[in-house]
Structure formats: structure tokens, C-alpha cells
A = this chain, B = another copy of it.
Amino acid sequence: MTYARLDQHLRKLEALSHAQAMLGVDEAVMMPDGGGEKRAEAMAGLATIYHDMASSPQVGEWLAAAEAEDLSPEQRTAIREQKRSYTNLTCLSSAFVGKQTEARIRSEQLWRQLRPAGDWTGFLPALANVVALAREEAAMRADVLKLAPYDALIEQFDPGSRSAQITPVFDELKSFLTGFIPTALEAQARRHARHPPRAFTSRFPIERQKALGEVMMKAVGFDFNHGRLDVSHHPFCGGVPTDVRMTTRYDESDFLFALMGVLHETGHGLYEQGLPKAWSHWSVGQARGMAVHESQSLFVEKQIGRNPAFWQWALPVVKQTLGEEALAGWTLDDMMQHVHRVQPGLIRVDADEVTYPMHVILRYELEQELISGRMEARHIPDAWDAKMVAYLGLSTRDNMRNGPMQDVHWPSGAFGYFPSYTLGALLAAQQAATIHRLVPAADDGLRKGDVSLLNDWRRTNIWSKASTLTTPDLVLAATGEPLSARHFIAHVQQRYG
């Protein structure tokens, strides 16, 4: 049976991607600097072998032949998703991919070098080249996928999501936040006036913070028999579903910095650990896409980790793990002032959950202009500044470092990725609202640090579904309605209004 041969081939590819994933983790967590050059060679070699094996015409023939075989519904879905992967992998010529990869690497390296000084002029030619190639890519993908060019890029990160559905939702959100951010800031000012915020004065030793991270990971359901927590400069969740490698980094003056990062990455990790193991070598067995992935990380970080109900249980645990003296006299209110801090700022990755969507919407709007050709890379700084002023009241004029040079995405050629962050936040709120409606007992559990009902629902409706449905179909099946901004809006109103 051709299906079985394909299955065998995919197992070999899984071995290669297992190696790539683990070498990536090792590089960030363990590798001494001097190992870097040869590691890069090895990674490039593995990528070539993987690409040759994954994109060979033989695979296309097997997929076509397997479709004609007597398959179970699950197998048929698996073939459908595998064809999607194969099409996306093979629709660009190797010559183009080579040219694009080189341009992206050069641009990203230049960005790393020039970002500290905010040297936009020096960086612009490399970025313009990456934009030009992204337009070419979008056109080629659009042609094969029968999609609009920008949608063809989104499809790489979030299968099934289309700007026609996203734009009205983002517009509604933007319109709401434009009014709500000042409201939230005023409400916060009133709270601070009533109850002045406390500052952390203790030093929080790294070992204790690590212990706290592990206690919290366990509390939200992470399986340490299939994963671990380490340290890296840029925190991530990597590895494979049977061995999820999470990292964080520590600030000894602020334990929330690492803790919230750990909770966020644990959300990613739970999704990976909850994927159906028997399908791990097929596309259908993998996480659906970046929006759904981000919905899981934000569910844990925002819906659980910043939830006052959860902190009723968490605060004593935090005190016990960090040492009573470290937070002596701290009340739930004191802690919530930190956990719920709202502060418009220039940097997306530092943003709170209220202002974060504005950073994403800005990028979403600009990258559509860039890909369509209506805007050129040289116009980014003015457009960026205008939107920052309009959405968050902050100017980035003459501040390229903390303006359009702050993110790695565009320098590395990732256009169509940004919306996933806010789609994830909306979906997390939408999932939380659904659970609240269908499983009201989940809230009681949360107050006792018991997330099992929350996880049961997500395991059944999100994790175990893997890539059997497109993102919009998954959302509809899980929550009973399409993507909507209203649950997120209700969530921030309730928490910050």
C-alpha cells in the first residue's frame, strides 16, 4: 500500500526534524560559542537532506496514489494535510528559495548588527530586498494556492485564516481599544491612588525562581516526564511533543518576569504535549498554526496566570517557594497591581495585554501595504510613527531601534506572522468564555490551583484536534462561533475597566 510507504517516509523525516529541533535547543541552552560554526553547517546540512527528502516528486506521486486507496477518514484527513504541506513546500523553485534564504540571513545579520544604534539607513537596502522577495514569494504562492498574495503568506503560519475575516475583527478591536486604553489607565490611576503599588525589594535567588517555575508548570499541567525547563537568552518552547524543552531567563530583582514567561511557554508546551502521539510524523498530527499555538500560551499566561482567582491559590505557594521573607506582608491586591499593570510603551514584547493588540494591528496594517506594493520599505518609519501616535500616543520619530527596528520578523522575511499574536489573544479569551459557559466548575478549580477542567476542555477541543481542521473550523467547532473580538473585549473590560 502506498499509504504505508508514505508513512515510513514520514517517519524518516520526523527523525530529521527531531534532530533539528533538539540541536536548536542544545544550541540555545548548552552549546559553547566555539561550537557554533560547525553547528550551523550541520543544521544547513540537515535542512538540505530534509528538503530533498520532503519535496521529492516521489512524495507527490505517493500522495496522489494514496488518495486513491481505501483509507479511513482519519487517514484521508492526514493525506489532505500532507498535500497542503507538500504544496507549500514545493510551490517555490529551489533557485528562488536559495536566493531568498541568502537575502533573509544577510538581512537578519545586518539587523542584529545595526539595531543597537538604530541605523535604519544602513539597514534599509537589505530590508527592501527582503520585501521585494516576499512580494515575489506571495505572488507565486498566491498563484498555486488560489489566494490573495498576503493571504498566501498568512497561510504559511495559520492555515485557513484570511485577511477578509481578520480585518473587521481587528478594526473592531482597534476601535474599542482606542477608547478603552485611556479608561484602563484612569482606572489604574484611581486604584494606585487608593492603594499605592508596592515595589519588590528582595533579591529572588535563581534556584528558588527555578523551583517556583517548576511548581507552577506542574500546577498548570506540564508533564515533566516529557519535558523540562532550562535557561536561555531568548526564552522559547522547543523540542518535540514527547520531550518539550522550555527555557526562561531570570531577573533576580523581579520574579514575575521569569514566572510569566514560564507560564506563557508552558501554554505552548501543553499544546505540544497534548497532540496525538500516533500522528506525530504526519502534518495532521502537528499543532495547527501560530494563532492557535499563541492562544494556548496566552490562555495559560493571561487567562490562568494573570487571573485573580488563580492567584488566591498561587500567592501562598509563591511565598512558600521563594521564602516567606521575600514577600513578607504582600497581599493579593499588592500582587495584582503588578500582574495587571497597564503601560503603553514602544516595545511590543514588553506590552501588557491591553495595549499589545495595537502593536500587532499596526504591523498587520503596514505589512499588507508592503506586500501589496502600495508602500515601500523606505516609508516604514513615517507610517510607523503616525500609527504609534494614533494608537498609543507615542512617537518613534528618530527612534528606529525602538520603532520599526525592534522585531526580528521583517528582517528575517516573516510577513504574515504578526496577526497570530493577537488572533491568539482573542482565541484564548473566546476559549475561556466557552469554558466558563459550558464548564462553570472550572472557575472553582482555578481558585484552588486545579486547572484540570480547563485542561480537559482544551485537550478535547484544541490539543487532540492537532491539524485535523483549519484554524477557522477549529475555532467554530470548539467555541460554537467564528473568531470574534467580543470575548477579549469583555475580558479586558472586566479585568482593567
A interface residues with partner B (beta carbon < 8 Å): 11-12, 14-16, 18-20, 22-23, 25-26, 29-35, 37-39, 41-46, 48-49, 53, 223-228, 230, 239-240, 242-243, 245, 280
Residue in B29, B35, B224, B242 whose CB lies within 8 Å of A243: B35
Contact B38 A280 (CB under 8 A): yes
In the complex, what residues of B have CB within 8 A of residue A39's CB?
18, 242-243
Complex Cα distance, B14 from A39, in Å, reads 11
Given contacts A12-B45, A19-B42, contact A32 B225 (CB under 8 A): yes
For the complex of A and B, list the 5 residue pairs with the smallest distance between their C-beta atoms, beginning with the closest.
A15-B45, A35-B243, A34-B225, A18-B42, A19-B19
Cβ of A240: which chain B residues have Cβ within 8 Å of it? 35, 38
Question: Nearest CB to that of A230 among chain B residues?
Answer: B30
**Can you list 19 pairs linking A and B with CB atoms under 8 Å apart?**
A11-B45, A15-B48, A16-B46, A16-B49, A18-B39, A19-B19, A22-B22, A26-B30, A29-B30, A30-B228, A30-B230, A31-B243, A32-B227, A34-B227, A34-B243, A35-B227, A35-B240, A37-B242, A49-B49
- Shortest distance from the beta carbon of A41 to any chain B beta carbon, whole Å: 7
Given A15-B44, A30-B30, A30-B228; 16 other pairs, CB 8 A cutoff: A12-B45, A12-B49, A19-B42, A22-B23, A26-B26, A31-B243, A32-B224, A32-B225, A32-B226, A32-B227, A34-B223, A34-B225, A34-B243, A35-B239, A37-B242, A39-B243
- The answer to whether A42 touches B15, judged by C-beta atoms less than 8 angstroms apart, is yes
* Residues in chain B near residue A26, CB distance under 8 A: 22, 25-26, 30
| Docked CA distance A228–B27 (Å) | 13
Give the dominant DSSP class at A's interface: helix
Interface centre among A18, A23, A29, A227, by most chain B C-beta atoms within 10 angstroms, is A18
Q: A227 to nearest B CB, angstroms?
A: 6
Query: How far in angstroms is the closest Cβ of chain B from A69?
Result: 24
Q: Which residues of B contact A23 (CB under 8 A)?
A: 18-19, 22-23
User: Nearest-CB distance from A145 to chain B (Å)?
Assistant: 30
Do the beta carbons of A45 and B226 come within 8 Å of each other? no
State whether B243 touches A15 (Cβ < 8 A).
no
Contacting residue for A12 out of B18, B43, B48, B225, CB 8 A = B48
Known contacts A45-B12, A45-B14, A49-B15; is A226 also within 8 Å of B22 by CB? no
Which residues from chain B contact A243 at a C-beta distance below 8 Å?
31-32, 34-35, 38-39
Q: Give, as a whole number of angstroms, the nearest-CB distance from A210 to chain B.
A: 15
User: In whole angstroms, what is the CA distance A49 to B49 when docked?
Assistant: 9
Q: Contacts A22-B23, A49-B15 given: A228-B42 contact, CB under 8 Å?
A: no
Chain B contacts for A242, CB-based, 8 A: 34-35, 37-39
Output the least CB separation between A385 and chain B (Å).
43
Chain B residues contacting A49 (CB-CB under 8 Å) are: 12, 15-16, 49, 53
Which residues of B lie under 8 Å from residue A223 when comparing CB positions? Answer: 34
Report A463 CB to chain B, min CB distance, Å: 16
Closest B-chain residue to A239, C-beta based? B35
Quick one: closest B residue to A42, CB to CB?
A: B18
Residues on B with C-beta less than 8 A from A38 are 18, 240, 242-243, 280
B45 & A16 in contact (Cβ 8 Å cutoff): yes
